[in-house]
Amino acid sequence: MPLFCDVALAVPLDVVFTYAIPPGMEPVVGGRVLVPFRQQRMSGIVVELHDRPPQVKTKKVIEALDLSPVLDEHLLKLGKWIADYYLAPLGEVFRTMLPLAAEFKRAVAYRITDAGRMALHLAGMSGSPARSKRTPEQQLVEFRVLDYLAERESVREEKLRGATRVSKALLSGMVRKKWIAREDVSAARDAARVVKVAVLLGAEAAELRSAWTGEGARPHTSKSKNLNENQRTLIETLAAVGGSLPVEILREVDVPRTTLGTLVRRGLIELVDEPQDFTASKLKPRQSPFEFEFSAAQKDALAKIGAAVASRKFGGLLLHGITGSGKTAVYLACMRQVLDAGRSSILLVPEIGLTPAVAADLHQVFGDEVAILHSGLSDAERAEQWHRIRRGEARVVAGTRSAVFAPVSDLALIIVDEEQDSSYKQEETPRYHARDVGVMRAKMAGAVVVLGSATPSLESYYNAKKNKYALVELPDRVEMRPLPEVEIVDMRQEFQETGQEQVISRKLAEEIRERLEKKEQVMVLLNRRGYSPVVLCRACGKTLQCKNCAVSMTHHKRERKMECHYCGHIERIPDKCVHCGSEYVYFVGTGSEKLEELLHGFFPQARIGRLDRDTVRGREDFEHALNALNEGALDMLVGTQMIAKGHDIHGVTLVGVVGADMALGLPDFRAAERTFQLLTQVAGRAGRGQSPGKVVLQTYFQDHYAVQFAARHDFAGFYEKELQFRAWMHYPPYSAIANVLIRSEKLDEALTWSGELGRWFENTRHEGIRVLGPAAAPITRLKRDYRYHFILKSPSREKMNALLRTMLAEAAARKIPHTQVIVDVDAVWMM
């Protein structure tokens, strides 16, 4: 065995740490080890085993946690690529790749020191301790602790506090006095989430069961005669359901809690651990993709992807299929083929809770062979899914961003659905983009990657044009259903004609009325939640801002509060202006909550539901609302962009867009792209069934090309125009881009640091790299931090990353804390 190992730890330092391997221990490359780091124990990933003694004295590995790697060769390599590309510490990358936090339990223990024994001894002699600032009660507790520890080696904090009732503060004080020593005893634990199940045992059980099912005579054994009424009830309950039940459910039987324990002691019932079942989506699966005949375009797409997979070489395809063209069916059919060949596939979706139909489809097609990783899972559940995948029990994986790291073997296919979705970008270290990591993983594994979308990102579309990806199109809706007609309503003109600021135009109101009369369904999009987004004082003209952020607080009427949508800060609703005390405060603007109320006013008979972050707390709420619409229990669904995503509800014939172009006013170069995508997505919800659909699009930017092209369903037109603009401005895809954010709670620190780095950039040669800034970030204050930023653009990613690396070293040398300088490579959010 080598003498040393290099370990990547999840700390914000860009180095690996060398530890000595004690005799007899056998850590593996790609496996986890528990090591001492500063005053703690941490688990890290072994990246190398070697015999090179380091310069400094090494500490020893405490424990090797894995016999075989948790990150195989491919994933280790992928992790190193991510660390390099996104300038992130390797250990933090590995932590993101492994959802195994639940397997490591943080714990602290205490033991008595010699000084502590002495103090105990002295107190025992004199009956009272030496001069002390503590009250007599506190001293008593202290001695109780010393006494307790004197008898034992090392005691866990919870146990010690339970036994002696000592407070945390008092414990810390004792550590400071060096009477006791504190140690980190964090350790691995078994993560698999299990449920305790009660199982009926032995002959007794068999007899009871047969008695119950009528296959035998009622039992009269000696044992059963000794059972009391309660015990009998429990046993008969178990027998009735076939001999076993989760303890949690058995507890609902109306007998004393002790009865079960008694039966266990008597050997009649055994408690066993069983892995918890995975709960499937409650949404009804749609027609199975294998029940209908594929269209020619679908067949062609399937054949192309199939051929690429069969070649066992890397290949990238961009599947551009308009809304309702049947992309999901193609995904599922490809994944089925891969599974039948005994290989693995991964499907990435933006937010699985918001696409329950896909989850339902997956279960229907793949049953137990699919592992679904979604945001609603606990750490333990996530770890359990991870193990199922690694054991090869689930070779079809579907999930959000981090599912791209699923430990499948023989990876054949990665599909990224809605590849343009910004939720694929992680907004914390490591700031990776799951689509791009997916492409790289496929490249390393010789697999195929399919990027699917009705509205591909500019980057992917450009790559397809440059033949980096093969472009596969599904140009028509299934069964040749037409795309909806889009009518634009110019809201400035509406204002002039009605003399009033309108939320719902006359045209939209009329169209909604028509659909309701015909018993058809309507969706209305307003991409802003809450009741009113602004509270304005008519006397001084100021608005109510969040105390942590430079943004205005949103009024939430039903919950009677003001909420900041950026940091979550909540305040009561003001009756006076906070700036000048005037009573003339007005709530202006409309959010989805107010829109729902307005629509109720217009159409009192209609049954209206709302979908936004306020009404949807979990996947259940979401599925509930969609089911209600699907089953015709709702006439209208109002909501934010949540309603725009991928749902397939056939009764919806009208989509009203009340507000979706707010982004066009933001200083972000992706604003036009996002608006085009949102408009196209939401329009795509209309007319998916027998009757054709219509869209009424209200806008204040009616001449904007994003609005115009979306209204004409002209993808190519939009892309050409937008690409031209990107080329002029040196934005992606023509240039690599990075956002460097400098932040501090102290304004002068943020200013000084960004000034220093600005001067450093000025005095550093950086040919072929444009550096813009420092400038105040568009949101100048967020979550208490003042924010300044630089934007770097370069056609050469290597050069840009090299400069960023030197900049980070410079910042470290100037003692700017690393947490306050954030480098975001390929930033998608410039605010």
Stretch of 249-257, 392-400, 544-552, 803-811 lying at the interface with Zn ion (CB under 5 A): 544-552
Residue 650 CB, shortest distance to ligand ADP, in Å, is 8
Three-class DSSP category at 762 = helix
Question: What does the alpha-carbon distance between residue 688 and residue 177 come to, in Å, rounded to a whole number?
Answer: 73
- Cβ closer to Zn ion: 230 or 548? 548
356 in contact with ligand ADP (CB under 6 A): no
Question: What does the alpha-carbon distance between residue 731 and residue 554 come to, in Å, rounded to a whole number?
Answer: 33
Question: What does the alpha-carbon distance between residue 308 and residue 302 come to, in Å, rounded to a whole number?
Answer: 10
What part of residues 628-687 is at the interface with ligand ADP (CB under 6 A)? 648
Q: What, of ligand ADP, Zn ion, none, does residue 579 touch, CB below 5 to 8 Å by kind?
A: Zn ion
44 in contact with ligand ADP (CB under 6 A): no
Unique residue bearing structure tokens 């653009």 = 793
Q: What, of Zn ion, ligand ADP, none, does residue 324 touch, CB below 5 to 8 Å by kind?
A: ligand ADP
- Cβ closer to ligand ADP: 400 or 801? 400
Stretch 174-213: interaction string toward Zn ion, x if CB under 5 A: ----------------------------------------
In degrees and rounded to multiples of 5, residue 651 shows phi and psi of -80, -10
Residue 398 CB, shortest distance to ligand ADP, in Å, is 14
List 93, 308, 329, 695, residue binding ligand ADP (CB under 6 A): 329
In degrees and rounded to multiples of 5, residue 117 shows phi and psi of -65, -40
List 120, 549, 625, 738, residue binding Zn ion (CB under 5 A): 549
Three-class DSSP category at 317 = strand
- Cβ closer to ligand ADP: 285 or 446? 285
- Cβ closer to Zn ion: 32 or 529? 529
Residue 23 CB, shortest distance to ligand ADP, in Å, is 58
Return the amino acid letter for 793.
K
478 in contact with ligand ADP (CB under 6 A): yes
Contact 629, 609 (CB under 8 A): yes
Question: What does the alpha-carbon distance between residue 3 and residue 5 come to, in Å, rounded to a whole number?
Answer: 7
List 546, 599, 736, 816, residue binding Zn ion (CB under 5 A): 546
List 111, 144, 443, 579, residue binding Zn ion (CB under 5 A): 579
Task: Tell me the CB-side half-sphere exposure of residue 136, using CA atoms within 13 A.
Answer: 2
User: Contacts with ligand ADP: how many residues (CB under 6 A)?
Assistant: 18
Q: What, of ligand ADP, Zn ion, none, does residue 295 touch, CB below 5 to 8 Å by kind?
A: ligand ADP
CA distances from 299 to 305, 309, 321, 479 (A): 10, 15, 13, 14
724 in contact with Zn ion (CB under 5 A): no
Residue 516 CB, shortest distance to ligand ADP, in Å, is 24
Question: What does the alpha-carbon distance between residue 774 and residue 432 come to, in Å, rounded to a whole number?
Answer: 24
Question: What does the alpha-carbon distance between residue 234 and residue 255 come to, in Å, rounded to a whole number?
Answer: 8
456 in contact with ligand ADP (CB under 6 A): no
- Rounded to a whole number, what is the largest CA-CA distance in the chain? 96
Q: Which helix (H) or strand (E) holds 462?
A: helix 458-465
140 in contact with Zn ion (CB under 5 A): no
Contact 516, 492 (CB under 8 A): no
779 burial class (0-12, 13-18, 19+ CB within 10 angstroms)? middle
Return the amino acid letter for 342.
G
325 in contact with ligand ADP (CB under 6 A): yes
DSSP 679: H
420 in contact with ligand ADP (CB under 6 A): no
- Cβ closer to ligand ADP: 454 or 549? 454
Q: What, of Zn ion, ligand ADP, none, does residue 577 touch, CB below 5 to 8 Å by kind?
A: Zn ion
Residue 530 CB, shortest distance to Zn ion, in Å, is 13
Residue 584 burial (CB count, 10 A) = 12
List 537, 599, 804, 816, residue binding Zn ion (CB under 5 A): 537
Stretch of 78-86, 455-463, 481-489, 567-575 lying at the interface with Zn ion (CB under 5 A): 567-575
List 567, 598, 606, 662, residue binding Zn ion (CB under 5 A): 567
Contact 97, 44 (CB under 8 A): no
- Cβ closer to ligand ADP: 67 or 480? 480
Stretch 284-323: interaction string toward ligand ADP, x if CB under 6 A: --xx----xxxx--x----------------------x-x
Stretch 358-397: interaction string toward Zn ion, x if CB under 5 A: ----------------------------------------
Chain-centre distance of CA 495, in angstroms? Answer: 41
32 closest CA partner among 52, 14, 10, 50: 10
List 191, 358, 577, 679, residue binding Zn ion (CB under 5 A): 577
CA distances from 408 to 80, 341, 521 (A): 18, 14, 42
- Cβ closer to ligand ADP: 321 or 350? 321
Q: Which helix (H) or strand (E) holds 500?
A: none
Q: What, of Zn ion, ligand ADP, none, does residue 548 touch, CB below 5 to 8 Å by kind?
A: Zn ion
Pairing type for strands 561-563 and 411-417 reads unpaired
* Helix axes 797-813 and 747-763, enclosed angle (nearest 10): 130
Contact 315, 471 (CB under 8 A): no
Contact 644, 421 (CB under 8 A): no
476 in contact with ligand ADP (CB under 6 A): no
Residue 733 CB, shortest distance to ligand ADP, in Å, is 24
Q: What, of Zn ion, ligand ADP, none, does residue 478 touch, CB below 5 to 8 Å by kind?
A: ligand ADP
Chain-centre distance of CA 190, in angstroms? Answer: 24
Residues that bind ligand ADP (CB under 6 A): 286-287, 292-295, 298, 321, 323-329, 478-479, 648
Residues that bind Zn ion (CB under 5 A): 537, 539-540, 546, 548-549, 564, 566-567, 569, 577, 579-580, 582
